Structure 1
Amino acid sequence: MNIVASTIVFTVDDPAGSRGFFTTCLGFREVLDIPDLTWLSRDDAAADLLLRRCDLERPRERTAQPVVSFAVTGLVEEYERLRAAGAPITGRLRRSPWGEWLVRLTDPNGIVVELTEWIAPGGHPGVD
């Protein structure tokens, strides 16, 4: 088997809200937008996203909190850009003891997005 692409599917109450978050804050572009389904993509290695409207006829399933994590470069600068733009940051930029930098955002439907970057310990002086 050879995996040639990845897509993450989120079932949400408000696809337009998530579409706005991912296009405005994280640079995704709309590939397809039809009633009840939006397909978003980027030109880099990020997985495609499908935003599917909740089916009101079916009972909701209890699922774990969805989290999508993107490994990025230039996270300190991206954090500053997101903060200046008023993005919904729900976890400030912080560094773990093993050298990973992480910031969390949460979209209007509760999808948690982690942006991470590996920085050798001691990198980016003055940022905690």
Structure 2
Amino acid sequence: MQITASTVSLTVDDVAASQRFFTTHLGYAEQAAAEGFASLARDDVAMDIVLLARGTEVLPADQRDQHACGLILAFTTTGIEHEEKRLRAEGVEITMPLREEPWGERLFQVTDPNGVIVQFVEWATPPAAENA
């Protein structure tokens, strides 16, 4: 098996609101869209995102009314201070301010209009450097 791409599918109440959030603030571009559906991608290695309206019939019956919750969409990045400042300047609420964990992970979180938590992570000391 060869995996050629990775996509996370999120069921949300307002597809357009999440689509605007990811395209405006996180550099995603629309690949396809229809009523209650949007497919988003970036040019780098970030995971693609599919947004589906809660209640849509394309979802199995037992999943139709579920909402994307209990998950964190995490992106490992560089220049984390710059990203936090940029998002704050764009009016995005930082729902967990930048902090450093004892194990060397630096992170902060934002939340999209549908409650999807997006976490940005950068290693204070890259794991490979610790082993050198």
Normalised by the length of structure 1, the TM-score is 0.86
Structure 2 unpaired stretches of 5+: 127-132
Alignment RMSD? 1.9
Distance (whole Å) between structure 1 residues aligned to residue 30 and residue 46 of structure 2: 14
Runs of 5+ in structure 1 lacking a partner?
Answer: 122-128
TM-score, length of structure 2 as denominator length: 0.84
Give the percent of matched residue pairs that are identical in Structure 1 and Structure 2.
44
Q: Equivalences for 1:13-52 in 2 at 5 Å?
A: 13-52=13-52
Aligned residue pairs: how many?
Answer: 121
Distance 2:27 2:67 in 1: 30
Whichever residue aligns with residue 89 of structure 1, its letter is I
1:87 matched to 2:128: no
Q: 1:102 aligns with which of 95, 102, 107?
A: 107
Q: Is the 8 A contact 2:54 2:67 kept in 1?
A: no
Find the aligned partners of 1:51 and 1:63 in 2 and give their Cα distance: 10
